[in-house]
Amino acid sequence: MSRELTIRERILNTFSHKALDKIVFSPRLYYWYRGNKLWKKPRTDKNCAGKIPKYILKKSMLQIYEYLEASPRYVIEDFFIPLIWPRKKMRYVRVGWGYDKRDRTRITVYKTRLGTLYKKSRGGHLVEYPIKSVQDIKIMKYIIKHSKFHFYLPMFKLAKKIIGDRGIVCTYFARSPYMRLIIEYMGFERTILFLKRFPNEIHDLMQFIEDCDDEMFKILCQSPIKILNFGENIDANLAPPRYFEKYLIPYYEKRVKQLHRVGKFCHIHMDGSLKDLLPYLEGLPFDGLEALTPKPQGDVSLNELQESVGNKILLDGIPAILFLPQYSFKYVREYTFKVLEMFSPNLILGISDELPPNSDFRKVEMVASIVKNFEP
C-alpha cells in the first residue's frame, strides 16, 4: 500500500471489503469513563473502580482515543452529541417527570386525551413499563403517532469536525417493533403473555409501529450518516428462533434494503446468548454484526462465531470481562491475537460490548499496541 490510511478510510475499506494496512481498534469507553468520573480529571485513581495510569487520569475522552490511536464508535456516548432524537415536546402529549422516594425510581408520565401512561426507571433501567393492560395499547399508539423523529444536521457537522479522520460519525436509532415492546413498552414477560392472549392486538401494535417508522427511515436515508447501527440488544432468550424468524428477520430485510439502496452500511447489536441464533447470522442482511459476545462471557466459542458469520464484519470480539483483574495479561494478549487472526480483515476490533469501570486500563493499552503492529 503506497501510503498509510486514516482510521476513517480503514473503517470504510473494512465495510467495503477493500485493502487494509491496519485493523481499526474501536473500544466503547464511555461506561468506564463515566463510571470512574474521569471527566472530573482526578489526580489519582484512589476513588476509581479500576486500575488507571496517572497519565490517563488527566486526559479527555478524545485525548484517550488519540493516545490509543483508536476510533470512537458513537458520538452520543463519547461526546454527548445527539444526531437523532424524538421530539421532546410531542404534539398533543404532555410529558412530566417525578421521583418516587419509596422505591427510589424516576417516573415519566405521558398525558393524552385518551388517557395517561407512566413508566418507572432506576439506575437508567426500566423497572415498570408503560403498557400494563391491553387497554393501554390505544394510548401508546396515540403517543407514537404524535412523536416526531429528527435528524440534527448541525450536530452531525460538529461531530464530524471533532472526530475528523479518527473515525466515522455513526449512530444507533429506534429498535424494531418486537424489541421495542420487550425493552421499552411492555417488558419480556408481558410481551410474550400478550402475544398468546391478545395476538391480534399485539400484531396490530407492531404493524402500527412499523408503519410509523417509515418516516424515521426516510429521514435516515436522506441523512449524511454513512454507517447505521440497529441497536437491538438481541439475546436468544428474548428473541428465540421462532420469534426471530417471524418478527425480526422480515423487518431487518425490509429496512436494510432501504438503507443499502442509498449507499448506507448497516450493522446490528447482538450482545446476549446467541447459540440458538447462530444458524441465522450469515444470512442476515447486515454488513456487520456488533458485540457478539464469545466465551467466557457469552455462550458461544470464537470458533462457532467464525463458522457462523461468513464474510460479515465483526465489530468488537474481546469479551468485556477479560479486562477485569481475574484475567491475566497473558490470557488477554493470547485472546486478542486469536480474534485478530480468525476474523481479520473483516474486523473492527473492540470490547463486547463496553469497558467495565473496574477494568485494568493497562490491558486496553496492551490491546491497542497489538493492533498497531498487526498486519491484516
**DSSP codes joined into one string, 155-189:** HHHHHHHHHGGG----EE-PPPHHHHIIIIIS-HH
- Residue 87's pLDDT band (cuts 50, 70, 90): low
* DSSP single-letter state for residue 247: I
**What does the radius of gyration of the chain's CA atoms come to, in whole angstroms?**
21
- Mean pLDDT, residues 147-156: 93
**Band of the pLDDT at 3, cuts 50, 70, 90?**
confident
Same structural domain, 185 and 321: yes
Q: What is the pLDDT of residue 198?
A: 98
In tens, the pLDDT along 203-262 reads: 999 999 999 999 999 999 999 999 999 999 999 999 999 999 999 999 999 999 999 999
Examine the domain organization and report whether 49 and 110 are in the same domain. Answer: no
Q: Which residues contact 175 (CB under 8 A, 6 or more apart)?
A: 183, 184, 230, 231, 232, 233
Question: What pLDDT band is residue 85 in, cutting at 50, 70 and 90?
Answer: confident
Same domain membership, residue 155 and residue 23: yes
Q: Which long-range contacts (CB under 8 A, 24 or more apart) does 96-103 make?
A: 103/127
Burial class (CB in 10 A: 0-12, 13-18, 19+), 258: middle
**Residue 90: per-residue pLDDT:** 61
Q: Tell me, yes or no, whether 285 and 323 share the same domain.
A: yes
- In a domain, residue 244? The reply is yes
Residues 6 or more apart whose CB falls under 8 angstroms from that of 171 comprise 74, 75, 76, 83, 84, 225, 228, 229
1 is a domain residue: no
Give the pLDDT confidence score for residue 1 in this predicted structure.
55
Query: Would residue 2 count as lying in a domain?
Result: no
For residue 334, the model assigns a pLDDT of 98
Domain count within the chain? 2
Is residue 364 in some structural domain?
Answer: yes
Q: Residue 180's pLDDT is what? A: 98
Amino acid at 17: H
**Residue 187: which residues within 8 A CB-CB, separation 6 or more?**
126, 129
Predicted TM-score (pTM) of this structure: 0.95
Report the Cα 268 to chain-centroid distance in Å: 8
| Same domain assignment for residues 329 and 200 | yes
- Predicted confidence band at 101 (pLDDT cuts at 50, 70, 90)? confident
Residue 362: pLDDT over 80: yes
Residues 161 and 304 in one domain: yes
For residues 295 and 324, membership in a common domain is answered with yes
| pLDDT per residue as tens digits for the range 106-130 | 999 999 999 999 999 998 899 999 9
Mean pLDDT of the residues in the chain: 95
- Under 8 Å between Cβ of 76 and 30: no
- Give the pLDDT mean for 310-326: 97
Q: Tens digits of per-residue pLDDT, 170-207?
A: 999 999 999 999 999 999 999 999 999 999 999 999 99
Do residue 78 and residue 16 come from a single domain? yes
Task: Return the C-alpha cell found at 113.
Answer: 386525551
Cα distance between residue 163 and residue 167, in whole Å: 6
Q: Do 113 and 70 belong to one domain?
A: no
- Segment 48-76, tens digit of pLDDT: 999 999 999 999 999 999 999 999 999 99
Full domain range(s) for residue 357? 7-88+134-372
Q: What is the pLDDT of residue 91?
A: 65
Asked if 162 and 183 sit in the same domain, the reply is yes
> What mean pLDDT comes out for the span 20-32?
97
